[in-house]
Amino acid sequence: MPTEKTNQNGLAASAPAAAARHAIPTYPPPESESEESWVWAQIKAEAHRDAESEPALASFLYATVLSHNSLAFSLSFHLANKLCSSTLLSTLLYDLFLQSFSSKPSLISAVVADLLAVRHRDPACVSFSHCLLNYKGFLAVQAHRVSHLLWAQHRRPLALALQSRTADVFAVDIHPAARIGKGILLDHATGVVVGETAVIGNNVSILHHVTLGGTGKAVGDRHPKIGDGVLIGAGATILGNIRIGEGAKIGAGSVVLIDVPPRTTVVGNPARLVGGKDKPARHDDVPSESMDHTSFIQEWSDYII
Residue spans per domain, the chain: 33-171, 178-304
Name the residue with higher pLDDT: 27 or 22: 27
Percent of all residues in the chain with a pLDDT value above 90, rounded to a whole number: 80
Using the predicted structure, report yes or no on whether residue 4 has a pLDDT greater than 60.
no
Which range in 8-17, 108-117, 211-220, 292-301 is most confidently predicted, on average pLDDT?
Answer: 108-117
Q: pLDDT tens across 225-259, in order?
A: 999 999 999 999 999 999 999 999 999 999 999 99
Bridge partners (DSSP) of residue 194 are 174, 212
- Considering only residues 226 and 283, tell me which one the structure prediction assigns the higher pLDDT: 226
In this predicted model, what pLDDT tens digit does every residue of 69-85 receive, in sequence order?
A: 999 999 999 999 999 99
The torsion angles phi and psi of 205, rounded to 5 degrees, stand at: -115, 130
Q: If pLDDT is split at 50, 70 and 90, which confidence band does 270 have?
A: very high
What's phi and psi for 11, nearest 5 deg?
Answer: -95, 145
**CA 42 and chain centroid, separation:** 18
Across the chain, mean pLDDT equals: 90
> Which CATH class for the 33-171 domain?
mainly alpha
Residue 32 pLDDT grade (very low, low, confident, very high; cuts 50, 70, 90): low
- The torsion defined by the Cα of 284, 31, 135 and 268, in degrees rounded to 10, comes to 10
- pLDDT of 278 reads 85
Is the pLDDT assigned to residue 303 strictly greater than 70? no
3-state secondary structure the chain: CCCCCECCCCCECCCHHHHHHCCCCCCCCCCCCCHHHHHHHHHHHHHHHHHHHCHHHHHHHHHHHHCCCCHHHHHHHHHHHHHCCCCCCHHHHHHHHHHHHHHCHHHHHHHHHHHHHHHHHCCCCCCHHHHHHHCHHHHHHHHHHHHHHHHHCCCHHHHHHHHHHHHHHHCEEECCCCEECCCCEEECCCCEEECCCCEECCCCEEECCCEEECCCCCCCCCCCEECCCCEECCCCEEECCCEECCCCEECCCCEECCCECCCEEEEECCEEECCCCCCCCECCCCHHHHCCCCCCHHHHHHHHC
- Average the pLDDT over 21-46 and give the result: 78
33-171 with 178-304: one CATH topology? no
Task: Grade residue 2 by pLDDT with cuts at 50, 70 and 90.
Answer: very low
Domain 178-304: top CATH class:
mainly beta
Q: Would you place residue 29 in the very low, low, confident or very high pLDDT band (cuts 50, 70, 90)?
A: low
The answer to whether residue 26 scores a pLDDT higher than 90 is no
